[in-house]
Amino acid sequence: MSETTVELCLELSEDDPFYQHKKKLLSSKGLGVKETVSLSGPLSQQLLNAALEKLLQFGRIVNLDKVEVYFGDDACTPAGVYSVRNEISALTWIFSLIPASSCKPQTLEAALREALEVRIGEVVGAEEKEARVDDSYRCEKESRLVEWGQRNGVKTKLQIAQIDGYGRGAIATEDLKFGDVALEIPISSIISEEYVYNSDMQPILEKIDGMTSETMMLLWTMREKHNHESKFKPYFDSLQESFCTGLSFGVDAIMVLDGTLLLDEIMQSKEVLRERYDELVPLLSNHKNVFPPEMYTWEHYLWACELYYSNSMQIKFPDGKLKTCLIPVAGFLNHSICPHIVKYGKVDLETSSLKFPLSRPCNKGEQCYLSYGNYSSSHLLTFYGFLPKGDNPYDIIPLDVDVIDDDDDEDMESVSSWTTHMLRGTWLSSNHNIFHYGLPTPLLNYLRRAHGLVHHSETDLWENLEVEMGVLENLKSTFDDMMQNLGDADSMDRENVEWDVEMAMEFKERQRKIVSSILDSCSAGIKMVQEAIGKPPV
């Protein structure tokens, strides 16, 4: 290995929306907002591991999202991992710092890339196993779509199959490693607003006030799906007759959701869609030759909305414009909280195509997962029609709070910057000790402040255990009421209920699990504080 020196410059951008929080997290690990990692050869494994650990500590914090920042180090594993998503993002970010042109064999850069690839291979998701394919479903329409795509420049290393527990999904046809492109789709095979602009709809729609490109796409799709001469006929043929999202829930399923925030989310979303539809109908009725009434019923409109909610992607084109698009073939990639593909959505300038590269390996026969985004199960159920497998770290219960006005003291910085607070399943926390209890520190400090305790050092907390008791008792009371509103577990036989009722029951059961864990943490915390009050702190 050549005896050169490599320097990697790390920096937390001041434009980061959570700059102050991340700065504090970096400081707690002995890191500043700007760091340099130097490597010089010959490089021992020990020095390489030390450099990688520093890079990872910095990269993890830089790549934290809002929820991960909020729960902070309380959610860290002993190894320092915040989440699978964050770990993948951090490792990918570190990779981006290493110039590809300098990664020749026997160089320090190559050694670092090799070490990173090993770490990426160690990121194992909850669904890391060979997919169970339902061979009774032949996937004929899906196969025709893939064949159409390949004739039109689509390149894929995935096979579409019916997978037990998922419906249709994409399976790796070979071992795929970090950086491999699982799917590549040329711009010409992407459905974008350009097709509307070149249609007979454009002169009519452009004259309607408030008409968005997304609504124009929706109206174009409602007609195009019936066009037997459409370039995208194989794509429309492959789509489901119904998408089975929360927007299609019936009365029985809605009743099951009583007591949940999801009930309001679904009802409000449907109300908004109905209002939009009722506004559009009279505007289109004057142009029946372009907008045939039989193609623009409420049922067809809802189907098109569900299509775009569950299958569209935001794509950045070479002109810099972000467009809502339908991506044939890519729509078969299922979501996971442990995805293989997280970096996509930008057209490659050299190839004029949309690429889906892997951020962690996917072995032959395994289902290849995409990240739809950092969404809660309620959002995924409402707009995509499924509940994710495993514990979703984004299943949070929001708590609206009044902003506390106070002087600019250091202890208040992290409290005052959060205008909303949240909780989630406390089993996701790694700290259940006194003053933590598996509950988020920002919320606890806010509640302590509301009880009159301004400073929150460990000494202050030990000296004000009565305040701690009040915080936990009030929080427990709030969630006792929430659990009562959720009611007892449903006694219906899930095997004999409709799909929407079954999904509603599953969602409500998950909500009970989260609320129950919060109540257990409050009870355990109350017991710890009671014991501490009875004896001097250790």
pLDDT digits (tens, 9 = 90+) for 299-312: 999 999 999 999 99
Q: What percent of the chain has pLDDT over 90?
A: 77
From residue 220, alpha-carbon distances to 16, 216, 281, 295 in Å are 38, 6, 14, 11
State mean pLDDT over 490-512.
88
Name residues whose C-beta falls within 8 Å of residue 258's C-beta, 6 or more positions apart in sequence. Answer: 487
Separation CA 395–CA 397 (nearest Å): 7
Nearest C-alpha neighbor of 386 from the set 537, 231, 217, 167: 167
- Residue 538's pLDDT band, with cuts at 50, 70 and 90, is very low
- Residue 406's pLDDT band, with cuts at 50, 70 and 90, is low
Query: Token pair of 286, please?
Result: 């004057």
| Residue 52 predicted with pLDDT over 60 | yes
Element (H, E) at 173: none
pLDDT digits (tens, 9 = 90+) for 97-145: 987 655 555 677 888 888 898 888 888 755 556 778 888 788 899 999 9
Separation CA 118–CA 506 (nearest Å): 37
- Cβ–Cβ < 8 Å for 75, 68: yes
| Residue 493 predicted with pLDDT over 80 | no
- Asked which of 30-44, 329-343, 378-392 is least confident by mean pLDDT, the reply is 30-44
- Which comes out higher in pLDDT, residue 120 or 489? 120
pLDDT digits (tens, 9 = 90+) for 424-462: 999 999 999 999 999 999 999 999 999 999 999 999 999
Nearest C-alpha neighbor of 394 from the set 18, 16, 70: 70
Give alpha helix (H) positions in 212-260: 213-224, 233-238, 251-256
Radius of gyration from C-alpha coordinates of the chain: 26
Q: Rounded to two decimals, what is the model's pTM? A: 0.91
| Residue 385 predicted with pLDDT over 70 | yes
Other residues' Cβ atoms within 10 Å of the Cβ of residue 178: 22
Burial of 15 (0-12, 13-18, 19+ CB in 10 A): exposed
Give alpha helix (H) positions in 226-297: 233-238, 251-256, 261-284
pLDDT digits (tens, 9 = 90+) for 197-243: 999 999 999 999 989 999 999 999 999 999 999 999 999 999 999 99
Separation CA 360–CA 89 (nearest Å): 10
- Asked which of 11-15, 102-106, 384-388, 500-504 is least confident by mean pLDDT, the reply is 102-106
Separation CA 316–CA 314 (nearest Å): 7
| Residue 483 predicted with pLDDT over 80 | yes
Question: Can you give the pLDDT at residue 123?
Answer: 81
- Cβ–Cβ < 8 Å for 418, 89: no
Separation CA 511–CA 527 (nearest Å): 25
- Which comes out higher in pLDDT, residue 491 or 285? 285
| Residue 412 predicted with pLDDT over 50 | no
Separation CA 341–CA 337 (nearest Å): 11
State mean pLDDT over 290-305.
96
- Residue 77's pLDDT band, with cuts at 50, 70 and 90, is confident
| Residue 416 predicted with pLDDT over 70 | no
Separation CA 298–CA 500 (nearest Å): 20
Question: Can you give the pLDDT at residue 73?
Answer: 81
- Cβ–Cβ < 8 Å for 314, 373: no
Question: Can you give the pLDDT at residue 218?
Answer: 96
- Which comes out higher in pLDDT, residue 101 or 265? 265
| Residue 407 predicted with pLDDT over 60 | no
User: Domain residue spans in the chain?
Assistant: 6-123, 396-534
Q: What percent of the chain has pLDDT over 70?
A: 93
Question: Can you give the pLDDT at residue 104?
Answer: 59
Cα angle at 356 between 81 and 219, to 5 degrees?
Answer: 115
- Residue 411's pLDDT band, with cuts at 50, 70 and 90, is very low
Mean of all residue pLDDT scores within the chain: 90
Nearest C-alpha neighbor of 112 from the set 176, 37, 179: 37
- Cβ–Cβ < 8 Å for 334, 166: yes
State mean pLDDT over 172-179.
95
Question: Can you give the pLDDT at residue 136?
Answer: 77
